[in-house]
Amino acid sequence: MGCDDMLTPHRDDVELTSPLQLPQLPNDAVWDGSIAYLDRDGVIIEGSENYVNTVDEVVLLPDSAKSVGDLRRAGYRICIVTNQSPINRGLWSSSNLSMIHDRMRQLLLRDDGDAHLDLILHSPYAPWEGAWARKPFPGMLEAGRQLIDSASSDTSLKNMNLKFGDDWSDRPDESNSVMVGDRGVDMSAAARFGVVGFLCDPDTGISSVMDSILGDSY
């Protein structure tokens, strides 16, 4: 299941395998391979049954910036993995989503200077398209791992060949990584990918599970 025969995840404004510059971890820490895969709505920002449609609707959940900063201070890279079917439903464009994500990044860094997002991946596909890149399938997590791993040694991502599903046999250990989401589809994606999932309260978001993630060190 390679890139050429599947509906792949997307990045904002650039191709999936465009160059990726990873922000330095706090205190110049050496990355040990840990990734926190985070859903967006109900985890980082307030969600809505009618979608988050404009930059004015972007509202951080309590302590979400501190939580992202704390994860990075603990050595995690941060990969947002978010279903965004309004794009393929024709409700709004990918450029609108990019502006929403730019606003989210600004608010996170305003509240915590360490709250960088290393990578944002989204699935523009509607549920009926059956995309491997749409949760509950793990395609975004699979791409996130490969992109971040590659970018940690070569930011150009030249000659990168992403693999998905059964085609990706040589997978790294994910025992030190986590997935945080507020819905069953997030936990299903985590289970299929083989990473520990933490289900958070959508009203409080990621801050409600930080004790469970970082344990005694938090």
pLDDT one-digit tens code per residue, 45-75: 999 999 999 999 999 999 999 999 999 999 9
Question: Per-residue confidence at 178, pLDDT binned at 50, 70, 90?
Answer: very high
CB 45 within 8 A of CB 104: yes
Cα gap 136→189, rounded to integer Å: 5
Catalytic residue (one of 41, 63, 118, 182): 41
User: Which domains, from first to last, does the chain contain?
Assistant: 3-217 (3.40.50.1000)
Report the pLDDT value the prediction gives residue 4, as an integer from 0 to 100.
45
pLDDT one-digit tens code per residue, 83-98: 999 999 988 989 999 9
Question: Per-residue confidence at 217, pLDDT binned at 50, 70, 90?
Answer: low
pLDDT surpasses 60 at 192 = yes
pLDDT surpasses 50 at 2 = no
Report the pLDDT value the prediction gives residue 159, as an integer from 0 to 100.
85
Report the pLDDT value the prediction gives residue 61, as an integer from 0 to 100.
98
Q: Which structure tokens are listed for 39? A: 């859903």
DSSP 196: E
pLDDT surpasses 80 at 40 = yes
Report the pLDDT value the prediction gives residue 195, as an integer from 0 to 100.
97
- Mean pLDDT over each residue of the chain, to the nearest integer: 94
Give the percent of the chain with pLDDT over 70.
96
Report the pLDDT value the prediction gives residue 58, as an integer from 0 to 100.
98
Catalytic residue (one of 12, 13, 39, 203): 39
Whether 32 is catalytic is no
pLDDT surpasses 70 at 1 = no
Whether 170 is catalytic is no
pLDDT surpasses 70 at 169 = yes
pLDDT one-digit tens code per residue, 111-137: 999 999 999 999 999 999 999 999 999
Is the link from the previous residue into 202 a cis peptide, with omega within 30 of 0? Answer: no
Give the percent of the chain with pLDDT over 90.
90
Cα gap 194→81, rounded to integer Å: 15
